[in-house]
């Protein structure tokens, strides 16, 4: 029997999103389980997802430590081992990557080595689900599926201007002055994993239509 798993990451709600988009609930309707790969942002966001299906969650770098979620976990679904991790690493790695992405207005794709790093870390898993990079990713490395559903919240000119209107701190304000001119960005998205005795099928589901400047 096939199990449908909804995969979500980087909701950043209510940090950057006031509420989860309606399209998310449409995309996840009927799933048997939801995996959230971190940067949930609040217990209320998690509760909204739990109204759809049971949720397996890990903490991201934007989740408060008080929530008590683990930084990683491994679950089994019909005999398949699935590792879940957000994917954030040391600031010595993170900050230069973010700077390059910002200054290139999205043309630079950061964290290219992350899937291989996660494969070495979770070398016994059939699937590794991760978030953090805000970019959909499907790749098989040495028999292990690396799956990133993309992000529910995406930085683009519209979301950057909306955040500026919320009077952020001076450092974020400076960053947003550049980010509001970003030219290459993915649309918000979630994922589906169909797990059956014969295999695992991943799917990315955009939550809105990409425009001419967006790059998946």
Which tens digits make up the pLDDT trace of 92-118?
A: 999 999 999 999 999 999 999 999 999
Half-sphere CA count of 15, side-chain side, radius 13 A: 17
Instruction: For residues 186 and 78, give the distance between their C-alpha atoms in angstroms, rounded to a whole number.
Output: 32
Edge-first strand order for the sheet with 199-206 is 55-57, 33-36, 3-8, 189-196, 199-206
pLDDT digits (tens, 9 = 90+) for 145-165: 999 999 999 999 999 999 999
Residues forming a β-bridge with 13: none
pLDDT digits (tens, 9 = 90+) for 71-89: 999 999 999 999 999 999 9
pLDDT digits (tens, 9 = 90+) for 34-70: 999 999 999 999 999 999 999 999 999 999 887 899 9
As its CATH architecture, domain 3-85+116-154+187-206 has 4-Layer Sandwich (3.60)
Instruction: For residues 122 and 36, give the distance between their C-alpha atoms in angstroms, rounded to a whole number.
Output: 18
At residue 210, does pLDDT exceed 80?
Answer: no
Return mean pLDDT, the chain: 94
Are 45 and 36 in contact by the 8 Å Cβ rule? The answer is no
Predicted local confidence at residue 209, as pLDDT: 62
Are 4 and 31 in contact by the 8 Å Cβ rule? The answer is yes
């Amino acid at each position: 029997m096939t199990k449908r798993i909804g995969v979500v990451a980087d909701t950043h709600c209510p940090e950057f999103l006031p509420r989860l988009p309606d399209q998310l609930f449409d995309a996840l309707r009927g799933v048997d389980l939801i995996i959230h790969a971190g940067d949930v942002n609040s217990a209320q966001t998690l509760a909204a997802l739990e109204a759809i299906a049971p949720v397996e969650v890990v903490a991201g770098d934007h989740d408060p430590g008080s929530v008590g979620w683990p930084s990683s976990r491994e679950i089994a679904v019909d005999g398949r081992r699935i590792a879940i991790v957000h994917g954030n690493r040391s600031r010595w790695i993170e900050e230069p990557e973010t700077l390059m992405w910002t200054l290139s207005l999205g043309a630079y794709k950061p964290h290219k080595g992350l899937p291989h790093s996660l494969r070495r870390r979770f070398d016994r898993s059939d699937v590794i689900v991760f978030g953090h990079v805000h970019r959909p990713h499907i790749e098989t490395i040495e028999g292990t599926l690396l799956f990133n559903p993309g992000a529910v919240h995406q930085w683009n000119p519209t979301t950057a201007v909306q955040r500026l209107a919320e009077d952020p701190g001076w450092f974020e304000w400076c960053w947003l002055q550049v980010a509001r001119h970003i030219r290459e960005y993915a649309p918000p998205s979630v994922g589906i994993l169909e797990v059956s005795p014969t295999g695992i099928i991943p799917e990315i589901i955009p939550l809105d239509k990409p425009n001419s400047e967006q790059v998946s």
